[in-house]
A and B are shown apart, each in its own frame.
Chain A
Amino acid sequence: MKRILLPLTLLLLAVVACNKTPKEEPKFTFALTNAMVQVGNVSEAPMIQVDNSKKTVYIEVVYADKAELSALPVSFTGLPSDVTANPATSTFNYAGGAAQTVTFTQGTLSESYSISAAATAPDPHFVSMKLNGVEVSGGSAKLKGSSDLKNVSVEFVVSPENTVVKLNGETITSATEETPNAIDFSDKMNGVTFTLVCDEVEKTQNVKVVTTGINSVERVWGRYVKPVTAGADLWWTEVIPPSNQNMRTMAMDKKNIYLATTGKKLYAVSISDPTAVKEMDMGDYAAGGVFGSCALATMPNGDGHVILLSNMVNSTASEFVIWKWDSADGKPEKVLSYKLPEAARIGDQMSVEGDWKSGKIWFHDFTSQQAAYVFTVTDGTISTTATKVSYDAKQGNWSAIYKYDDKQYIGGGPGAKSRLFELSGDQATSKLELPGAYFANPLHGIRFFTFNEQEYMTYVVLRNSFQDGQVRFTELNGETLLSSLENPGATLRYGLGDPVENDITADKNGNGLGNNVMQVIDGKIYIASYVPGAGLSLFLIK
């Protein structure tokens, strides 16, 4: 038994002793990540694309760093402790598609990665652009409608810096004082398409002009007392006398323009057909005073307007009256009888605010030139007493006070320069005498409106020693009305004595009167402008 067991045991032990555990094969477990690849000498972080299956690293630097490709420092950091890179840091010329091999060693095993680098294609574009000094944003710049769009100055900065800008095949450069340019942007619909060229890459960029404010003012029609342009329409002499003294004011609703004489006559001219003029029914109209009729205005009343006509009085206890028509076809109704409490003169001009339900009617006092009588209108009834509003500076004789907002009013009329007043209770404090460098004297019919994101003040100004007049549209560009008036923007001017010629010699309007009124009809702004003895025109703002 021993002879068998012993050798057998020894044999088994020998076999067990010889049976070595199989040694595990070393594996290359390392995987490169983007974060391990560091690229130096570049202005912007490059894009890095690692493909561990293909053993490639692709580095894409921005176009601005293209020149750095010829000596691009690349290093590998943050590697696991058992991994080394060779070279760990190197500067290599990757230009022209050259690739560098980097070997990563983990233990006894190694893998080689091919490192390549390229620059992105250039993206030629405008970094900034200004048209007439106005920044282009979202592909367009807002210029004033009154700008000369055929000659727009274009300043720009491009990126990359070596980008060439072309227009219709011609290279253009950014406008400077020494080298101005003038590009036609008048095709507002299609704009201007610039071509930007950098290396082999071409891109186009369309830039449009969006105009703000008035693009044009159309004279819908005009009637002139003594026009100098052949063919200009003459005054309605057969119906309305072309009086230069005794038809002082004008009013307008959505259908007619109204003219009143100082002799108790009232005329309506159709807005849509200026040949349709008529003398209105005066009914039981009765009024005393210096002039039985003089100041004229309309006030909104529901869908329509009321037409208000007053007499003009100038002595204590005189009866000051206002008569009302509901339409050009109606008869008048007396809506105010007011005993003048002192020797004031009111009724030369009338200005209104609000409507026939809730409004105010202002009459400047010719005598003191420093006060106005203000009547309130409540539900179609005019107050029988007036608030006397005093100003701390004179505001001429045949003047009126025009509202800008609840606090700010402007006076206009002959005999004193127009002023901006701030109203507090029954006191108006002068804040500004309108600068003579911009505003001639006298101004009449001062109205405010906003068109196409631009605020305007429109008014009539007398010209040529009161023998002609102009309607003007002045841009208000300041933060406040005060600053806008101190430094007003561009002004559009249209003559009233002739459709073409300015400052003609018509019938002298000795008192320097006129008016300018506004109505929004079917969403469009119409302005009627009148200077006695010169003419009356209807304008449409476009």
Chain B
Amino acid sequence: MKRLVLITSLLLAAVSCQKLQFPPRSSDCSLSGLKCFVYYDMAHSSARQELNLLSGTWNKERGLISYVFPQDERFTGDALAYCRIEATIPSSAVLELCDEMGNGLGHGFEAFYDLRGTTLYFKVTAADGTERSYQLTCRTK
């Protein structure tokens, strides 16, 4: 009996020393899509136009995105007061809205933005903590 207790204790001690092997955490903090939905007629929520913001000037290396809205009556004046932004990032990453200094303001985008001459700052943090800052500037012609 004493021998059994001894062996069990040894085994438990060995198991407790065994470190669990977790898969490496993703360092992917890339931005693969950035869409804007312009609700140009708030009286009709279905009246919206989807735009690919990355189709503007997109400096991938520096995370700089500049988008100029097309010359279309749907994208002038008050029409741009209600815009929703959607980003596509890795499922293991999180997006945080920031101020110009890089201070976090909260996770995810807000419901609506007025994108008339607006610059938004945000960062994407990968599962392993790797961060990438992005700067989006939207303008009208």
Partner of A123, one of B57, B62, B101, B119: B57
CB contacts (< 8 Å) of B64 on chain A: these are 47, 49, 60
Tell whether B139 is near chain A: CB-to-CB under 8 Å.
yes
Using known A-B contacts A34-B119, A120-B59, A123-B57, determine if residue A47 contacts B66 with beta carbons closer than 8 Å: yes
Could you give, for residues 263-289 of chain A, a 1 whenever the CB lies within 8 Å of some chain B CB and a 0 otherwise?
Answer: 000000000000000000000000000
> Closest A-chain residue to B135, C-beta based?
A49
A49–B66 alpha-carbon span in the complex (Å): 12
Tell whether B100 is near chain A: CB-to-CB under 8 Å.
yes
CB contacts (< 8 Å) of B101 on chain A: these are 31, 33, 52
B contact residues, total (Cβ < 8 Å): 12
Tell whether B76 is near chain A: CB-to-CB under 8 Å.
no
CB contacts (< 8 Å) of B135 on chain A: these are 47, 49
Separation in Å of the A290 CB from the closest CB of chain B?
63
A120–B101 alpha-carbon span in the complex (Å): 24
| Cβ-Cβ contact count across A and B, 8 Å cutoff | 32
CB contacts (< 8 Å) of A58 on chain B: these are 62
A34–B64 alpha-carbon span in the complex (Å): 13
Partner of B139, one of A45, A52, A60: A45
CB contacts (< 8 Å) of A45 on chain B: these are 137, 139
A62–B66 alpha-carbon span in the complex (Å): 10
A33–B99 alpha-carbon span in the complex (Å): 11
Q: Is the interface of B mostly helix, strand, loop or mixed?
A: strand
Q: Chain A interface residue count: which class?
A: 10 to 19
Could you give, for residues 27-65 of chain B, a 1 whenever the CB lies within 8 Å of some chain A CB and a 0 otherwise?
Answer: 000000000000000000000000000000101001010
Tell whether A50 is near chain B: CB-to-CB under 8 Å.
yes
Could you give, for residues 99-134 of chain B, a 1 whenever the CB lies within 8 Å of some chain A CB and a 0 otherwise?
Answer: 011000000000000000001000000000000000
CB contacts (< 8 Å) of B139 on chain A: these are 44-45
Q: Is the CB of B62 within 8 A of A49?
A: yes
CB contacts (< 8 Å) of A49 on chain B: these are 62, 64, 135
Interface residues of A in 55-84 (CB under 8 A from B): 58, 60, 62
Separation in Å of the B29 CB from the closest CB of chain A?
17
Q: Is the interface of A mostly helix, strand, loop or mixed?
A: loop
A34–B99 alpha-carbon span in the complex (Å): 11
Separation in Å of the B31 CB from the closest CB of chain A?
15
CB contacts (< 8 Å) of A52 on chain B: these are 101
Q: Is the CB of A47 within 8 A of B57?
A: yes
Q: Is the CB of B100 within 8 A of A47?
A: no
Interface residues of A in 22-59 (CB under 8 A from B): 31, 33-34, 44-45, 47, 49-50, 52, 58
> Closest B-chain residue to A52, C-beta based?
B101
Q: Is the CB of A60 within 8 A of B100?
A: no
Separation in Å of the A113 CB from the closest CB of chain B?
15
Separation in Å of the A157 CB from the closest CB of chain B?
14
Q: Is the CB of A62 within 8 A of B57?
A: yes
A117–B52 alpha-carbon span in the complex (Å): 26
CB contacts (< 8 Å) of B66 on chain A: these are 47, 60, 120
Using known A-B contacts A62-B57, A120-B57, A123-B57, determine if residue A50 contacts B62 with beta carbons closer than 8 Å: no
User: Ordered nearest first, which 5 A-B pairs have the shortest CB separation?
Assistant: A120-B57, A47-B64, A47-B66, A33-B100, A47-B137
Given contacts A33-B100, A44-B68, A47-B59, 14 further A-B contacts (CB under 8 A): A31-B101, A33-B101, A34-B100, A34-B119, A45-B137, A45-B139, A47-B57, A47-B135, A49-B62, A50-B100, A60-B59, A62-B57, A120-B57, A123-B57
Instruction: Enumerate 9 A-B pairs (CB-CB under 8 Å) in ascending A order.
Output: A31-B101, A33-B100, A34-B100, A44-B68, A58-B62, A60-B57, A60-B62, A120-B57, A123-B57
